[in-house]
Chain A
């Protein structure tokens, strides 16, 4: 089946620290991969995406590379800020006509000044 596994949180970091949130997936076909971010009390916003193997998605200093050989899409940022505190969701779209997303459980990130 199709599923996404994220590292469990919460993750707590000091400002300017390096961030990695691990995400691995199981999917049939050739999925697209996404990272969404949710700030407290709000809906989800797309952070970045990659649609094929070896693609790198990037936005706001965050990056993730689609690794088909390790079925991974880890999220990284070189220097986090307090404003990055949020819940991060990894998701996949298996590329069929159904267009539905499969989400991981989310990882809570808290950044302290």
Chain B
């Protein structure tokens, strides 16, 4: 079955700790994306990558970091510098990153205690 997996589904973190959210796709897509979703605010782009070993900041990159060492993987680290990290995080991928449909994973809900 082809698709995007995100793990874990629920994540709890203490203030001051870094945490890494996993995103893996077996669709052979070139482009991958991370979005943050807050109630009533839609989706906001954190980082995106159009090719291995390259990525760009989105609209709200502060306090986050990413890597793209493999085509199928695009992990997101939420650092202690992120002031309000509690949110629902969605990963997506698309074939060419240009007017192609984006396919979304099931999301990870991060709660900072």
Chain A interface (Cβ < 8 Å from any Cβ of B): 32, 34, 36, 41-46, 49, 51, 89, 93, 95-101, 103-106
Contacts and interface: CB of A to CB of B under 8 A. Distances in A.
A105 B43 CA distance: 7
Nearest to A44: B104
Nearest to B101: A46
A99 B100 contact: yes
Interface residues of B, number: 30
Contacts of B102: 46, 101
Nearest to A32: B99
B17 interface: no
Contacts of A93: 98-99
B94 A49 contact: no
15 contacts: A34-B101, A43-B6, A43-B104, A43-B106, A43-B107, A46-B102, A51-B99, A89-B42, A93-B98, A98-B50, A99-B31, A99-B98, A99-B100, A105-B41, A106-B42
